């Protein structure tokens, strides 16, 4: 049997390998505390589950759904965007429900990228941006995100020959993995850049509702002229702890939305309707759950940062997202430090290089860890620090 050539470059997704390592240690009877995956541990709000259960009893929801989604869901998404960001959307042409935003992120490259086309992708970044480009036959040009540029891409530093071949740019704020945020001025510059060079923009915005200290993230669609050049991906996974239900959306430029709908109509059968009704309830129902969840995440953030600081790691408290992005101790690479924590104290963190070469020197910790495990994990990190016997990197 011979696989396609693209499979030669397709490695297992980052978290597949991490989960494999965790499973191996657990099989040996070792307890592992994981700060790795941003999978909300808090439950989906009860009123949303009630609606899901009710809708699941309706025979009409046992049949194939439409790719475009229920009109009521598209309207609820449009209404939510207007209430949250002051953005007016046409629910018929500028809104598309997704089977989780990851699905849409994977499919959009098929709409825009062809053989040899270039996608501008931040580095470090969510791996799916580059993987979807590769699967579509394109090439990735990495835009370095560094502390020196506040983890924002330097648009002026992109070589002209790359700009001329680029067809798509990815952005993601609040950012995974760095937790950086962007403002409207930056998004306005992106729109102007995209207009000048006829580049489509995709902004991945699943963390807009996870924020701290009174900060309120903005939407790319709030910038001037964004719907002429791009779309925004969003998700109910983090906002309402609905990661397991797989429900998200793409909103913005009508032509891009139409292209994505056509690809999806040929490759999937849409979001199950009972889940769509649950999403409508989440978007239209009480929103106090968001503040309640953020208070929990902020408390966890503060405890993690305090411990990392005590360990001598340089870290800035994030304004938003589910992650803490911390510099590793001097003398370590990201992988060496992550491996040492796993070997010495059974704590899993993600090495920054898992998100690209410019992630070197950092590790990412998630706030989605139950409180009991958090206390245990922090105690273990304190133990690593107190032993004064960290792994000595090889020369």
Full DSSP string of 53-98 = HHHHT-GGGGSPPPTT--HHHHHHHHHHHHHHH-----TTTSEEEE
Pair (39, 103) in one structural domain: no
HSE-up of residue 103 (Cα within 13 Å, Cβ side): 25
CB atoms within 10 A of CB 371: 12
Respond yes or no on whether the N-terminal peptide bond of residue 124 is cis (omega within 30° of 0): yes
- What is the rounded distance in angstroms from the CA atom of residue 194 to the CA atom of residue 188? 10
Do 230 and 112 belong to one domain? yes
Pairing of strands 362-366, 33-34: unpaired
Q: Say how far apart CA 139 and CA 113 lie, in whole Å.
A: 9
| pLDDT under 50: residue ranges of the chain | 389-395
Q: Which of 223, 281, 279, 277 is nearest to 252 (CA)?
A: 223
In this structure, the answer to whether residues 249 and 340 fall within a common structural domain is no
pLDDT at position 260 is 98
Q: In angstroms, what CA-CA distances link 62 with 65, 144, 247, 267, 270?
A: 9, 46, 17, 19, 13
| pLDDT on residue 389 | 47
Residue corresponding to tokens 């040009």:
141
Q: Which residue has the tokens 């701290």?
A: 212
Whether 187 and 97 share a structural domain: yes
Find the domain containing 189 and state its range: 46-284
Establish if 395 belongs to a structural domain. Answer: no
Which one, of 75, 79, 135, 84, lies nearest residue 105 by Cα? 135
- Contact between 233 and 203 (Cβ < 8 Å): yes
Residues 84 and 139 in one domain: yes
- Please report whether residue 279 resides in a domain: yes
pTM: 0.94
pLDDT tens digit sequence for 352-395: 999 999 999 999 999 999 999 999 999 999 988 777 544 444 33
**Can you give the CATH number for the domain in which 383 is found?**
3.90.1150.10
Q: Is residue 220 part of a domain?
A: yes
Split into its structural domains, the chain has a count of 2
- Do 296 and 309 share a domain, yes or no? yes
Instruction: State the pLDDT at residue 5.
Output: 77
Asked whether residue 394 is domain-assigned, the answer is no
Listing from the earlier edge strand, what are the strands of the sheet with 166-172? 95-98, 248-252, 230-235, 200-204, 166-172, 118-123, 139-144
Domain boundary among 284, 308, 333: 284
Residue 387 neighbours by CB under 8 Å, 6+ apart: 344
């Amino acid at each position: 049997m011979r696989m396609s050539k693209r499979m030669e470059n397709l490695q297992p997704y980052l978290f597949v390998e991490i989960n494999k390592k965790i499973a191996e240690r657990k099989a040996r009877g070792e307890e592992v505390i994981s700060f790795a995956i941003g999978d909300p541990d808090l439950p989906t709000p009860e009123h949303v589950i009630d609606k899901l259960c009710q809708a699941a009893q309706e025979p009409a929801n046992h049949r194939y759904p439409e790719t475009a989604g229920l009109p009521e869901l598209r309207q609820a998404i449009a209404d939510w965007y207007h209430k949250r960001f002051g953005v007016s959307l046409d629910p018929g042409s500028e809104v598309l429900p997704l089977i989780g935003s990851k699905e849409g992120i994977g499919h959009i490259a098929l709409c825009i990228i062809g053989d040899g086309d270039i996608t501008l992708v931040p580095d470090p970044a969510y791996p799916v941006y580059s993987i979807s480009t590769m699967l579509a036959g394109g090439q990735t040009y990495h835009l370095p995100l560094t502390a020196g540029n506040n983890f924002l891409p330097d648009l002026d530093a992109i070589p002209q020959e790359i700009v001329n071949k680029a067809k798509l740019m990815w952005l993601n704020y609040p950012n995974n993995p760095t937790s950086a945020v962007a403002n409207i001025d930056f998004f306005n510059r992106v729109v102007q850049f995209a207009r000048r060079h006829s580049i489509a923009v995709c902004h991945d915005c699943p963390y807009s509702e996870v924020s701290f200290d009174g900060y309120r993230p903005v939407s790319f669609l709030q910038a001037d002229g964004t719907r002429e050049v791009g779309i925004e991906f969003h998700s109910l996974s983090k906002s309402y702890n609905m990661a397991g239900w797989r429900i998200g959306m793409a909103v913005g430029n009508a032509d891009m939305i139409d292209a994505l709908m056509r690809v999806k109509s040929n490759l999937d059968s849409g979001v199950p309707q009972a889940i769509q009704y649950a999403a409508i309830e989440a978007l239209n129902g009480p929103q106090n759950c968001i503040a309640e969840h953020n208070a929990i995440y902020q408390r966890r953030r503060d405890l993690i940062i305090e411990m990392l600081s005590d360990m001598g790691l340089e870290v800035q408290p994030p304004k938003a997202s589910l992650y803490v992005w911390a510099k590793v101790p001097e003398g370590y690479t990201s992988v060496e430090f992550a491996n040492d924590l796993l070997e010495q104290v059974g704590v899993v963190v993600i090495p920054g290089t898992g998100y690209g070469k410019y992630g070197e020197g950092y590790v990412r910790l998630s706030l989605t860890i139950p409180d009991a495990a958090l206390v245990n994990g922090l105690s273990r990190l304190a133990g690593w620090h107190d032993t004064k016997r960290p792994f000595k990197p090889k020369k």
